[in-house]
Amino acid sequence: MNAIIYCQPPSDFRSLVRRFYALQAERVEAYKLFEEGHEAYLRTGPHYDFDHYRQLVHEITKAFCGISKEVLEIKERLHQDFDRPDLSEHIEKLQIKEKQKLELTAKLQLAKQSAQDHPDDEGCQEKVQEIKQDIIKNKEALSEILQDFKYDSEEPE
């Protein structure tokens, strides 16, 4: 049986910021696994192995929920314990963009399957490209927020 080990969040400012970056790296890794899993799922078409894919979605969702929960705890600590509402505001914006990214990623996966199932339907291909553009814009916004966070967190306390 897998035991969930809850570790005490770091108590000093620098460690808290480092933990935030580690969580962001975990998100990137989770997206990579999600994408690879979806590509594997598409290769099972036209008789898709939905059970296996559903299990992947469940695991990824669990991972994202755990990451978000800890990020929100860090946000709260930065605001309350370190009086850094500027940093907690960056995290708030980041969480909104991360939620949008996950929604766009799910939409893209559905669109890719639809495009694969209907190769002659140009509308399906266009939808995939449209969502990919939205994801690029979302990633650019995330990058800007992270840059602002980095800049502000490196200022003297």
Res 155: pLDDT: 73
pLDDT in tens, 85-115: 999 999 999 999 999 999 999 999 999 999 9
Q: pLDDT tens digits for 26-59?
A: 999 999 999 999 999 999 999 999 999 999 999 9
Confidence check: pLDDT of 116 > 80: yes
> Count of residues for the chain?
157
pLDDT value at 137 more than 80: yes
Question: What pLDDT, on a 0 to 100 scale, did the predictor assign at position 78?
Answer: 96
Which pLDDT band holds residue 9 (cuts at 50, 70, 90)? Answer: low
Res 157: pLDDT: 52
Does the pLDDT of residue 6 top 90, yes or no?
Answer: no
CATH topology of domain 13-154: A middle domain of Talin 1 (1.20.1420)
- Mean pLDDT (whole number) for 124-129: 97
Q: State residue 117's pLDDT score.
A: 96
Q: Where are the domains of the chain?
A: 13-154
